[in-house]
């Protein structure tokens, strides 16, 4: 269990509470705030960008848009991850297309003047630049970005300072995906991918993920499977790793509580009837089930818009066997819940855009959101509200 540096008493559902304010309207809609978020949050510390399997082999590459910066991740000949800005050192040209992936074998070539870079980002070819120019190629590598992986997730850190260790970032929040090593997510593969373009600020999506006050009204099917959610709670003090027990007899996160998917091996006995949710600041929202893992990765497109990637992980041997790989009930259930959520977060976004909205209010069941807002304020260099 993680510590609580912001003193919000987040796990105590009966502790003292007085109404706390939400973020302000401008925090959800203004370009100025969004610009500061880009520097402080999206380019200032570790964020999740995808899965290591997207660049499984040397020479594989994948491009990502991080709050308007195009970057790419690759793997060098020693199998080590590398990440760079998608910017040529010659005259700045963006050399890989958006949303592209593939394998370049040994080198990246700029489409403009054909300068080439090896998998470590070193400039190895600059046609027609001649010896007598005393041109030292080693001075013009690609612009490097820190990259690392944990539990099969890919993380980048675009800070201009020295990046802190990834593990430090992963363990300093209210929840941590490091609590779930027994699920061996690094061995899993993406079996299904859904993409949603949500017309809402990324923080509204995170806030919605981290509360269940809305569950009884928005998710009638979900509260059938996880009874605690009827009460608007997301944490059950009695259960380790913030698990939520499913209804009696349920062993899978589906409408019926059943699925034909093989269960993950070697878990704790109670894991086979549990739902676990975990949030890693700023953009990884993880859901762990006995036979599938689903996560959202949010990529902000502006103050009012977020691309949400929803991917489903399974054991590779399950995906490989058509007799075993029957993900539909889990995927359909999640897609239903996601669409219910996107509908309501888009309404929330519209509302916070009104001139009538200055700040809203958090009751006790929203305490994790207040905690998230404190963490956001701290990253943004604003005073904490306490
Ligand atoms: S800008 Fe890339 S080679 Fe000229
Ligand atoms: Fe929801």
Q: What is the pLDDT of residues 78-121, one digit of tens each?
A: 999 999 999 999 999 999 999 999 999 999 999 999 999 999 99
Atom of ligand 1 nearest to the CA of 92: 1
Distance separating alpha carbons of residues 341 and 349, to the nearest angstrom: 12
pLDDT in tens, 170-228: 999 888 999 999 999 999 999 999 999 999 999 999 999 999 999 999 999 999 999 88
Please give the average per-residue pLDDT across 308-317, as a whole number: 98
Distance 116 CA to ligand 1 centre (A): 9
The predicted pLDDT at position 7 comes to 64
End-to-end C-alpha distance for the chain, whole angstroms: 21
Please give the average per-residue pLDDT across 307-328, as a whole number: 98
Please give the average per-residue pLDDT across 341-364, as a whole number: 96
Evaluate if residue 276 carries a pLDDT over 90.
yes
Evaluate if residue 234 carries a pLDDT over 80.
no
Q: Is residue 371 within 6 Å of ligand 1 at its C-beta?
A: no
Distance separating alpha carbons of residues 363 and 309, to the nearest angstrom: 30
Helix or strand or coil: residue 106? coil
The predicted pLDDT at position 4 comes to 57
The predicted pLDDT at position 239 comes to 77
The predicted pLDDT at position 205 comes to 98
Distance 46 CA to ligand 2 centre (A): 26
Distance 9 CA to ligand 2 centre (A): 23
The predicted pLDDT at position 325 comes to 98
Q: What strands, in cross-sheet order, belong to the sheet with 189-198?
A: 189-198, 305-314, 293-302, 284-288, 274-280, 243-245
CA separation, residue 211 to residues 18, 283, 341, 363 (Å): 17, 16, 11, 11
Q: Is residue 90 within 6 Å of ligand 1 at its C-beta?
A: yes
**Domain boundary assignment for the chain:** 20-43+178-379, 46-163
Distance 293 CA to ligand 2 centre (A): 17
Dihedral-angle region of residue 281 (phi above 0 means left; psi in -120 to 50 means alpha; beta otherwise): beta
Distance 82 CA to ligand 1 centre (A): 20
The predicted pLDDT at position 113 comes to 97
Out of 1.10.1040.50, 3.90.380.10, 3.40.50.410, 3.40.50.720, the CATH code matching 20-43+178-379 is 3.90.380.10
Among protein residues, the one with the nearest Cα to ligand 1's atom 1 is 91
- Average pLDDT, rounded, for the chain: 94
Please give the average per-residue pLDDT across 234-263, as a whole number: 89
Evaluate if residue 3 carries a pLDDT over 70.
no
Evaluate if residue 59 carries a pLDDT over 60.
yes
- Which residue reads 């090896």 in tokens? 118
Q: Is residue 94 within 6 Å of ligand 1 at its C-beta?
A: no
Evaluate if residue 1 carries a pLDDT over 70.
no
* Fold of the 46-163 domain: Rieske Iron-sulfur Protein (2.102.10)
CB 305 within 8 A of CB 229: no
Distance separating alpha carbons of residues 367 and 8, to the nearest angstrom: 7
The predicted pLDDT at position 5 comes to 61
Atom of ligand 1 nearest to the CA of 126: 3
Among protein residues, the one with the nearest Cα to ligand 1's atom 4 is 113
pTM for the full model? 0.96
CB 61 within 8 A of CB 55: yes
Q: Is residue 144 within 6 Å of ligand 1 at its C-beta?
A: no
The predicted pLDDT at position 15 comes to 79
CA separation, residue 112 to residues 26, 31, 89, 96, 127 (Å): 41, 33, 12, 11, 11
Distance separating alpha carbons of residues 335 and 77, to the nearest angstrom: 39
Evaluate if residue 229 carries a pLDDT over 90.
no
Using omega within 30 degrees of 0 as the cis cutoff, is the peptide bond preceding 282 cis?
Answer: yes
Distance separating alpha carbons of residues 219 and 90, to the nearest angstrom: 53
Distance 341 CA to ligand 2 centre (A): 5
Chain centroid, CA 234 distance in Å: 19
Measured from the alpha carbon of residue 343, the closest ligand is: 2
The predicted pLDDT at position 6 comes to 65
| Residue 339, token pair as written in the block | 């669409």
Distance separating alpha carbons of residues 327 and 232, to the nearest angstrom: 28
């Amino acid at each position: 269990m993680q510590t609580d540096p912001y003193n919000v008493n987040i796990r105590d559902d009966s502790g003292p509470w007085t109404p706390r304010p939400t973020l302000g309207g401008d925090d959800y809609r203004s370009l100025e705030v969004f610009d500061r978020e880009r520097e402080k949050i999206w380019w200032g510390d570790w964020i999740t960008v995808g899965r290591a399997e997207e660049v499984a082999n040397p020479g594989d590459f994948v491009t990502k848009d991080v709050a308007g910066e195009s970057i790419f991740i690759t793997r060098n000949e020693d199998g080590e991850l590398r990440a760079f800005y998608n910017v040529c050192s010659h005259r700045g040209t963006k050399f890989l297309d958006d949303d592209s992936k593939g394998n370049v074998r040994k080198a990246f070539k700029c489409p403009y003047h054909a300068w080439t870079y090896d998998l470590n980002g070193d400039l190895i070819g600059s046609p027609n630049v001649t010896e007598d120019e005393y041109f030292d190629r080693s001075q013009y590598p690609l612009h490097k970005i820190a990259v690392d992986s944990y539990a099969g997730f890919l993380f980048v850190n675009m800070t201009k300072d020295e990046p802190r260790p990834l593990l430090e970032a992963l363990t300093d929040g209210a929840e941590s995906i490091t609590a779930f090593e027994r699920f061996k997510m690094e061995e899993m593969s993406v079996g299904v991918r859904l993409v949603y373009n949500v017309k809402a600020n990324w923080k509204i999506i995170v806030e919605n993920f981290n509360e269940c006050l809305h569950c009884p009204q928005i998710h009638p099917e979900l509260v059938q499977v996880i009874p605690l959610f009827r009460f608007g709670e997301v944490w059950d003090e009695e259960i380790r790793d913030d698990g939520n027990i499913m209804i009696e007899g349920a062993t899978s996160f589906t409408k019926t509580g059943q699925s034909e998917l093989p269960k993950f091996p070697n878990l704790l006995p109670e894991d086979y009837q549990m739902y676990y949710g975990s949030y890693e600041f700023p953009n990884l929202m993880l859901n762990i089930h006995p036979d599938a893992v689903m996560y959202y990765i949010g990529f902000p497109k502006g103050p009012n818009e977020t691309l949400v990637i929803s991917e489903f992980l399974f054991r590779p041997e399950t995906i490989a066997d058509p007799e075993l790989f029957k993900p539909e009930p889990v995927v359909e259930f999640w897609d239903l819940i996601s669409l219910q959520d996107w509908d309501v977060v888009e309404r929330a976004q519209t509302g916070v855009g009104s001139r009538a909205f200055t700040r809203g209010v958090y009751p006790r069941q929203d305490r994790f959101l207040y905690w998230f807002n404190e963490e956001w304020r701290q990253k943004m260099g604003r005073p904490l509200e306490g």
